[in-house]
Amino acid sequence: MPLKSNGAERPTIEQVSPRAAIPGGDIQIRGQHFLAAPRPLVSVGSVSAPLVVGSDRYVVARVPESAGDGLLVVSNGEKESAPTPFAVGQLVADNLHPVASPAVGPDGSVYTTFSGSRGQKTPVAVYRIDPAGSVTPYLNDLMNATALAFDREGVLHISSRFDGVVYRSPSSGVMSVYCESMGVATGIAFDDKGDLFVGDRSGTIFKISEGGQGIYVFATIEPSIAAYHLAFGPGGYLYVTGPTTSSFDGVQRISSAGEVEVFFRGLGRPQGLAFDKEGNLYVAASLAGRKGIVRITSEREASLFLSGPNIVGLAFAPGGDLMVSTTGALYRVPAGIKGRPLP
């Protein structure tokens, strides 16, 4: 029998979409008996969440900045629903300016950038966040640090969209040129053979043989108005995103022979991307007008995995956490998902 108090039945949460968010992200909640008071009340981590839409069976709430443990509760003014687990991103570092995904090193440290506007020299170009959460400058003398990637030896590489160079940095403060003349160098990724792939925003994907000696045009695609983002997935395919003037962008993939095909279409402003161990693709983008991180299965079925504003990239960290970069901050989300191993 339904529990009652002064005639009101206990709210029941039946569906939550998505099941993860960073502060500012919207949650859609479906269920029953949400309305007894003038409007439903929603809390995330015991913190009141602003309501966007409220009815007896459907609620949209926004994750507050100070949300704690992530338990989601709906109250109708007389009774509360049973708490529903919900993954909330916790702020790791702010006052940043990433334009692509963070990178996770072999020891679990996370690297992210302060890229700055084109031609702007920033005091710090790359930051390192160790597993304990301590944030320290890693590289200083680099203009417009853009994308980050580790090679199979655990050495960090950084592209610069300012000078078209990819730099190599084996340790903090140490930097050398790995390859140059890459146009507007944006996304970078290593394959399992140690070759580096670089996206020139004007429409060229370069392939650089291990050691930075040979440079080849691997493929050509439509130019991007912002940047290319690259990641290797199952079957040796290189996956590429890059916003265009279209409102119906997609994810392209390139075979080892350089053949380009559309893997999925229907995203708004797709940017950083990463794969989990099972081969599912995660893309910073919007889907059907909802902003966040979209999960696309190998069967090319898409759903919103995490909601949040201004997301530019993501990476999986040891322990199942998801590192999420926005245009000004880095968050850690307890997603419980293992990422695809480094090549």
Q: What is the DSSP string of 44-75?
A: ETTEE--EEEE-SSEEEEE--TT--S--EEEE
The pLDDT value given to residue 210 = 83
Q: At a CB cut-off of 8 Å and minimum separation 6, what does 117 contact?
A: none
The pLDDT value given to residue 226 = 81
Q: Residue 262 and residue 173: Cα distance in Å, rounded?
A: 39
pLDDT of residue 164 exceeding 50:
yes
Residue with tokens 């960290």: 317
Average pLDDT over residues 60-64: 96
Q: Where in the chain is the domain with CATH 2.60.40.10?
A: 4-88
Q: Where in the chain is the domain with CATH 2.120.10.30?
A: 90-333
Cβ proximity of 27 and 8 under 8 Å: no
Q: Residue 24 and residue 67: Cα distance in Å, rounded?
A: 10
**Tokens at 62, concatenated:** 């926004």
Q: Are strands 238-241 and 249-254 parallel, antiparallel or unpaired?
A: antiparallel
Average pLDDT over residues 60-72: 90
The pLDDT value given to residue 343 = 66
3-class SS of residue 230: strand
The pLDDT value given to residue 7 = 61
The residue with greater pLDDT, 3 or 103, is 103
Q: At a CB cut-off of 8 Å and minimum separation 6, what does 262 contact?
A: 250, 251, 252
pTM for this entry:
0.94
Picking from 112-121, 141-150, 178-187, 255-264, which range would have the lowest pLDDT averaged per residue? 112-121
The pLDDT value given to residue 113 = 97
CATH node for 90-333: 2.120.10.30
316 burial type by CB count under 10 A (0-12 exposed, 13-18 middle, 19+ buried): buried
Q: Where does the pLDDT of residue 34 fall: very low under 50, low under 70, confident under 90, or very high at 90 and above?
A: very high
Phi, psi at 107, each rounded to 5° = -90, 5
CATH H superfamily, domain 4-88: Immunoglobulins (2.60.40.10)
Q: Residue 337 and residue 343: Cα distance in Å, rounded?
A: 18
The pLDDT value given to residue 213 = 76
